[in-house]
Amino acid sequence: MSTKPDVIRKCLQSACLVGLLVTGILSLDCNLLHFHLRKVTWQNLRLLSSTSSSFPVECLRETKAFELPQEILSHTQPAKRYIKEAFYEMSIQAFNIFSQYTFTSTWEKDYLKQIQIGLDQQLQYLEQCLEEEEKEKEDSKELEEDGMNWSGALVPQLSNLELRRYFNRIDNFLKEKKYSHCAWEIIRVEIRRCFYYFQKFAALLRKK
Amino acid sequence: MKTVEHCSNITATFCDLTDVWEVLSETYAVTVDGFRGNTTLVTCFIDFFLATHISLEPPEFDIVDFTDHINVHVNFPPVMPKILDGKVLQFYLPLIIEEQSGGIVKKHNPTLDENVTGNFTYVIDNLLPNTNYCVSVYFKHRNLEEIHRSPVKCTLLPPAQDTGSSESAKIGGIITMFLIAAVFISTILILKRVGYICLRNDFPKVLNFHNMSSWVFPEMPPLEAVAFVEVIHINRKKKVWNYSYDDESDSNDEAAAPLTNTGGYTKHGLVGGLLGPTSASSATWEDRLEPDTEERDLSEPEADTDPLMALGTNPGGSECTSGAYEGRGKLLQDPFSKEDSSSTEGSGDKIIFNVNLSSVFVSALDDDDSEAPPASPSFPEETYNLEDSHRLETSFLEARGEGTQPPFPTPSAECPWPEVVLSDISDSSESGVDTGDGYIMR
């Protein structure tokens, strides 16, 4: 009987994984944030496209336009902080939506778990970088009392509201359709589309 | 749902929908209906997301080889699909140019413009002349694992003439230098073997540079304190301590005692004149400091015959309690302190030496030729003072300190006592000193 060594081995494995995760998060460099965001977003895109079943024909009649915010759709160069905040909002909302998904099959469960893990990592990375920016802003707050900073600070708040409203529409659609299979398929397609635009959005972080 | 006109009412089993795709971010659902007459035989439906399912066939390309680089001319179609702009291609379908040589594959990712049309030239530089290189071009799809490569095109780069000639010249020069050095070394070796050149391995000390530091910085001789020394010449006659009983040995005073050192102990051969009427006679004494009996071997033959010392308290000089100590007995030489003025009479017969009798063992040195042992008178034993002899014996024993056989006093008529005067006598010995007629006892 070798229960104790197995238990110890499992504990060690989980401890190692946790340690690697913690060190990985702690050692994240905010200058490489855009690489991480693009990578995670692309991964989620692929996962959402890897479902075995195709889109049901009968669900074509129930499709709906959820109106992704124009700031996300446009290719203008917004402030970098806004991009990060938008990513943060999107990650939280998508995570919450996928948490409500009722798994009908095993492969769907595995795919959605991976998506949620990716979103969680993205959130932690963004939190760290946003906190660093907050500290830098507080240090330079006394020096800069420019009105543009205040106006710039308002823009992200409005865009985040639009983004939040977008995800509220998605959530309401699910509730109206009572979390039916067609509703979930329509939402899956919509969120995949959202991820695509956010991936292009992340490329703007690289530009100065 | 939108009906594609150029793909309607066709009998072909395929239709190109490239121009139908507008936005890469959208999900397209396609329905294909198959009819026979007015009867629908089959209906197919499929959906796909272009961003993750897009792929491109590899473009056509040409290569132009040079000495150290290759120009790759990629032929893009004149009109690109509107769904594929520069940004899309750069991210979703990057162009890869593979260069392979000798099993080593090197990938090049050229940056394309947003509006990529027509020919596109890419230069692969830093190549080795006279080397075979193979080039392949394809679009790397981010989602698909399979890669659709173009047919590989290989070429052998021409050799670099200028660099080749310079290299050959360099190689020739190096070879020539090696040959010259080899000839020179071999010549020296041959001359050395023949003997025409003598190469010394042992260099003179002057040329010994091992201790360079000491050579450059020679060690200063240690400073010696020079003091003035006054040499005093003292003429001394060697004293021979020869305790012989011959008259010829009048120069006893001046005779030097033979001095031998054995084992840290000093042997002094005591030579001196005799007390009493026969003061001229002398006996040879051997004063031993070391009570080792083995050392007595030297004086054994001499000790057998000569009477040695006064052993009794007999004040009379006629009775000589001293006897010849035969054999190997040790003798404790009582201090022959001569307080009488007689000691000063014959200065030539007196020998003065400092002896610590507590550590001195005196043995008689027999000299057969030097002296004629006087006829020993009959020596009645009753005259022998037993008490004193007993005390003597004990004193001998005490002084000796070792288990040697105590000497037995043997009578002798006339004991040729050497007149030995001890200047420094220990207190213990002085207490018992009784200088009678040449007899000394403790």
Query: A29-57, pLDDT tens digit by residue?
Result: 788 888 888 888 988 988 888 866 788 88
- At A175 the pLDDT is 92
Residue A155 has pLDDT above 90, yes or no: no
Please report the pLDDT score of residue A187 as a whole number. 92
Indicate the residue of A45, A54, A192 with minimum beta-carbon distance to B45. Answer: A54
Q: What are the start-end ranges of the H helices in chain A?
A: 3-26, 33-48, 70-73, 80-99, 106-139, 147-176, 181-206
For the ranges A16-20, A116-120, B437-441, the maximum mean pLDDT occurs at A116-120
> Which residue do the tokens 């800069």 mark?
A144
**Could you write out the DSSP letters of every residue in A9-49?**
HHHHHHHHHHHHHHHHHHT--GGGHHHHHHHHHHHHHHHHT
Tens of pLDDT, residue by residue over B332-369, are 444 444 444 444 444 455 666 666 666 555 555 444 44
Q: What is the pLDDT of residue B38?
A: 87
| Cβ neighbours of A196 in B, within 8 Å | 24-25, 51
Give whichever of B2-6, B254-258, B298-302, B385-389 has the largest mean pLDDT: B2-6
pLDDT for residue A94 is more than 90? yes
Q: What number of other Cβ atoms are within 10 A of residue B218's Cβ?
A: 9
Average pLDDT, chain B: 65
Tokens of B159: 């050799």
Residue B397: band (very low, low, confident or very high) from pLDDT cuts 50, 70, 90: very low
**Residues of A (29-58) whose Cβ lies below 8 Å from B:** 42, 45-46, 49, 54-55, 57
Q: Which residues of A touch B91 (CB under 8 A)?
A: 203
Residues of chain B with C-beta less than 8 angstroms from the C-beta of A189: 27, 49
Q: Does A189 reach chain B within 8 Å, measured CB to CB?
A: yes
Q: In which element (H, E) is residue B213 found?
A: helix B212-216
Q: Note whether A60 contacts B29, CB cutoff 8 Å.
A: yes
B98, B136 contact by CB (below 8 A): yes
Helix axes A80-99, A147-176, angle to 10 degrees: 20
Dist CA B120 CA B118 (whole Å) = 7
pLDDT for residue A203 is more than 70: yes
The closest of B30, B33, B29, B51 to B42, measured between CA atoms, is: B33
Q: Is the pLDDT at B326 greater than 90, yes or no?
A: no
A122, A87 contact by CB (below 8 A): yes
Chains A and B form CB pairs within 8 A to the count of: 34
Confidence at B402, pLDDT banded by 50, 70, 90: very low
Statement: residue B412 has pLDDT above 60: no
- Please give the pLDDT value at position B71: 93
% pLDDT > 90, chain A: 21
Nearest to A49 among B45, B46, B52 (CB): B52
State the pLDDT at residue A27.
57
Beta strands in B230-264 (DSSP E): 259-262
pLDDT, tens digit (0-9, with 9 covering 90-100), for B7-44: 998 888 889 888 888 888 888 888 999 988 889 998 88
pLDDT top residue among B27 and B161: B27
User: Is-above-0.80 flag for pTM?
Assistant: no
State mean pLDDT over B225-240: 68
First to last CA, chain B: 156
CA-nearest residue of chain B to A198?
A: B25
What's the whole-number mean pLDDT along residues B76-96?
Answer: 76
pLDDT tens column, B118-142: 788 899 999 999 899 999 998 887 7
DSSP B261: E
Q: What pLDDT sits at residue A57?
A: 87
Confidence at B94, pLDDT banded by 50, 70, 90: confident
- Please state, in angstroms and rounded to a whole number, the distance separating the CA atoms of residues B254 and B242: 9
Does the A89-138+156-207 domain belong in CATH 1.20.1250.10? yes
Burial label for B419, CB within 10 Å (0-12, 13-18, 19+), is buried
In chain A, the residue whose alpha carbon lies closest to the alpha carbon of B53 is A49
Strand B95-101 relative to strand B104-108, pairing:
antiparallel
Contact B25 A197 (CB under 8 A): yes
Q: Which residues of A touch B51 (CB under 8 A)?
A: 45, 196
Cβ B1–A60 below 8 Å, yes or no? yes
Q: Cβ B51–A189 below 8 Å, yes or no?
A: no
- Dihedral of the alpha carbons of B214, B215, B216, B218, in degrees to the nearest 10: 60
Distance from CA of A144 to the nearest CA of B (A): 36
Domain ranges of chain A: 89-138+156-207
Residue in A54, A196, A203 closest to B47 by CB: A54
Q: Given this model, what pLDDT does residue B132 score?
A: 92
Give the pLDDT confidence score for residue B154 in this predicted structure. Answer: 92
Residue from A42, A50, A58 whose CB has the most chain B CBs within 10 Å, to mutate: A42
What ipTM does the predicted assembly reach?
0.74
Q: Are B325 and B396 in contact (CB under 8 A)?
A: no
Question: Rounded to the nearest 5 degrees, what angle is found at the Cα of A60, between the Cα atoms of A58 and A63?
Answer: 130
- The confidence band for A71, taking pLDDT boundaries of 50, 70 and 90, is confident
Mean pLDDT is lowest, of A176-180, B89-93, B108-112, B338-342, for: B338-342
Q: Six-digit token pair at B348? A: 């030539």
Mutate to test the interface with A, among B31, B33, B52, B142 (most CBs of A within 10 A): B52
Of chain B, the percentage scoring pLDDT greater than 90 comes to 12
With contact defined as beta carbons under 8 Å apart, do A43 and A180 qualify? no
Instruction: Tell me if A196 and B51 make a contact (CB, 8 A cut-off).
Output: yes
What is the band of B151 on the pLDDT scale with cuts at 50, 70, 90? confident
Partner B contacted by A60 (CB < 8 A): yes
Q: Sign (positive/negative) of CA torsion B167, B172, B176, B182?
A: positive
Task: Indicate the pairing of strand B70-75 with strand B60-65.
Answer: antiparallel
Q: Of A5-9, A123-127, B243-247, B256-260, give the lowest mean pLDDT range.
A: B256-260
Q: Do residues A173 and A59 make contact, with C-beta atoms less than 8 angstroms apart?
A: no
Helix H or strand E segment including B164? helix B161-194
Q: Residue B52: which of A45, A60, A189 has the nearest Cβ?
A: A45
H helix intervals, B265-415:
300-303, 342-345, 386-400
State residue B394's pLDDT score.
43
The reported pLDDT for the residue numbered B415 is 41
Give pLDDT, residue B172.
87
- pLDDT over 60 (residue B2): yes
Residue A160 tokens, joined? 């985040």
What is the distance between the alpha carbons of residues B357 and B401, in angstroms, rounded to a whole number? 12
Task: Convert the pLDDT of each residue in A109-150 to its tens digit.
Answer: 888 889 999 999 999 999 988 888 888 888 877 666 554 444
CB-based contacts of B361, cutoff 8 Å, min separation 6: B287, B288, B289, B290, B291, B330, B331, B332, B333, B399, B400
- The Cα-based distances of B140 to B50, B58, B59 in angstroms read 15, 9, 12
